[in-house]
Chain A
């Protein structure tokens, strides 16, 4: 039971980082990307390859995952600079679809459909941290550091400039904001954090394959952010807890036959999302809109 809870907590921590990273894009910069699982995946593959080929240091893997995702975030920044609203959503969908194909086909890098297996246990400066408890501790520390960084950045002039762009791009420009640079940086920051989450995920699962980086995953993370509340620190975390714990909780309910859990889950998510957007469009933590 404890092992189960620690496992769940670790998964929630990793998704907490992922949701917080998407919140930088959606909540603060107003960039509605549905390709976020791509950058989660890039970080996971990068971390896994580092561990398999060189050294299974989880901190190095996080840095490598973050760096790869930040570098390739230009693929998302480019459309974000050119189009907005539903056009950008469509563009990011295209990126998501391309990435899944690349992930499935680039055998030498991603292991193709089979994925990368046998990722060695995580170490940190040579010490083994692969046991559930220390690994959870490390993941929590990463989450705390990243949340603190997001808080500092978003409460400062960088965050205000991003939110200004989100609310009116042309007015932000008229007050001297370099929209292209700011959006590019915001996308790089959000994607880098997603890459860090991906590297942690690779060690947590001990294998990675394309199934974890599909459109469905992107939509799940977006649902976490929107249900929890955009542009708040707590919102995405709340969304993660709800959407991860709900399935876990449902499996304890005796009157739902196990075969029906999936369907019941989908119904509850869908209903919750619809009701929330009607009655509390800024999300659970978002207050009034």
Chain B
């Protein structure tokens, strides 16, 4: 089993605040890892470091064993890493369909590589992603005009259509109603079945239990523990930190 994505000793300080301290994390192929921890633990920052949106102070980010440290986000994305944002960052004034199109098109002036064949394939991928995310009806609506759950699903549809093999999802299910949540869980399971490696930041421990094969527990920038869900979620010390009992 390969380790397509791996983080070694990653460090990041914001001013005096150590947002991420010496964190190691391996994403194993086809394994879903949940990143869990209280607010401000450094989870989003870890994603930003992994995708090149923020340059780390130290450490390594390896894709298939090769360093991608210091590479710009669009390079890392083109290597097959797709991510969502906690605040979604949809392309607000574009249609739902164009959001997904823009996410998967290689940029070119007029002619895309691959010509008509590739274009039809891309359109099929867009249609399939919209269908699986329940957005076919809304395809022509602008992203800003969508309802909350639809916006969340659009952020997943963009990723789904790319065909990326590594997904980093930042609280994709927060605030979803039970019906949408079930749809989301199914989406992730289907992706995993297709071989996608997923790392997911999630506060809802039910979803974590449903989806995660492994949990990494972060607090104040440091990884306190990593292991199978049963181990982590039964550790009274971690649960105490998570629910804020031991914070000073």
- Interfacial residues, chain A to chain B (CB-CB below 8 A): 152-153, 156-158, 160-161, 163-164, 166-168, 170-179, 181-182, 231, 289
Contacting residues of chain B (81-109) with chain A, CB-CB under 8 angstroms: 82-83, 85, 89-94, 98-99, 101-109
Contact across chains for B94 and A170 when beta carbons are under 8 A apart: no
What A residues does B94 contact at CB under 8 A? 160, 163-164, 167
Report A-chain residues with C-beta under 8 Å of the C-beta of B103. Answer: 164, 175
Residues of chain A contacted by B109 (CB below 8 angstroms): 153, 156, 158
Can you sample 22 A-B contacts with CB below 8 Å?
A153-B110, A156-B109, A157-B107, A158-B109, A160-B94, A161-B105, A163-B94, A163-B102, A164-B91, A167-B92, A168-B90, A168-B91, A170-B73, A171-B91, A173-B72, A174-B51, A175-B77, A175-B158, A177-B107, A178-B72, A178-B74, A181-B107
Q: Roughly how many angstroms separate A175 CA and B168 CA in the complex, as a whole number?
A: 12
**A67–B105 alpha-carbon span in the complex (Å):** 29
| Residues A174 and B77 in contact in the complex (CB < 8 Å), given A160-B94, A163-B91, A167-B91 | yes
A171 to B92, CA, bound (A): 11
Contact yes or no, B107 A170, CB < 8 A:
no
Contacts of A175 in B (CB 8 A): 74, 77, 82, 102-104, 158, 162
Which of A152, A164, A176 makes the CB contact (< 8 A) with B110?
A152
A163-B93, A168-B89, A168-B90 known; A173 vs B110 contact (CB < 8 Å): no
- The prevalent SS among residues of A at the interface is helix
Chain B residues in contact with chain A, CB under 8 A? 51, 53, 72-74, 77-78, 82-83, 85, 89-94, 98-99, 101-110, 112, 143, 158, 162
Tell whether, in the assembled complex, residue B101 and residue A160 are in contact, meaning their CB atoms are under 8 Å apart. Answer: yes
Chain B nearest CB from A261 CB (Å) reads: 37
B102 and A161 contact, CB distance less than 8 A: yes
Contact across chains for A170 and B85 when beta carbons are under 8 A apart: yes
Q: A160-B94, A163-B102 are in contact. Are A171 and B89 (CB under 8 A)?
A: yes
Q: Shortest Cβ distance from A225 into chain B, in angstroms?
A: 15
> Which of B82, B91, B158 gathers most chain A CB within 10 Å?
B91
CB–CB A157/B106 < 8 A:
yes
Known: A160-B101, A168-B89, A168-B91. A173 touches B77 (CB 8 A): yes
Enumerate chain A residues within 8 angstroms of B91, measured Cβ to Cβ: 163-164, 167-168, 171-172
Tell me how far the C-beta of B62 lies from the nearest C-beta in chain A, rounded to whole angstroms: 19
- In the assembled complex, which residues on chain A have CB atoms less than 8 Å from the CB atom of B105? 157, 160-161
Contact of A160 with B102 in the complex, beta carbons under 8 Å: yes
* Cβ contacts under 8 Å, A166 to chain B: 93
CB distance from B88 to the nearest CB of A (A): 8
Interface centre among B101, B107, B162 (most CB of A within 10 A): B107
Chain A positions within 8 Å of B108 at CB level? 156-158
- Given the contacts A167-B91, A168-B91, A170-B73, A176 and B83 also touching, CB distance less than 8 Å: no
User: Beyond the given A164-B103, A167-B90, A170-B53, could you list 6 further A-B residue pairs with CB under 8 A, ordered by the A residue number?
Assistant: A157-B102, A157-B106, A167-B91, A167-B143, A168-B89, A173-B72
Instruction: Please give, as numbers and ranges, the residues of chain B lying within 8 Å of A167 by CB-CB distance.
Output: 90-94, 143
Roughly how many angstroms separate A181 CA and B106 CA in the complex, as a whole number?
13
Cβ-closest chain B residue relative to A158: B109
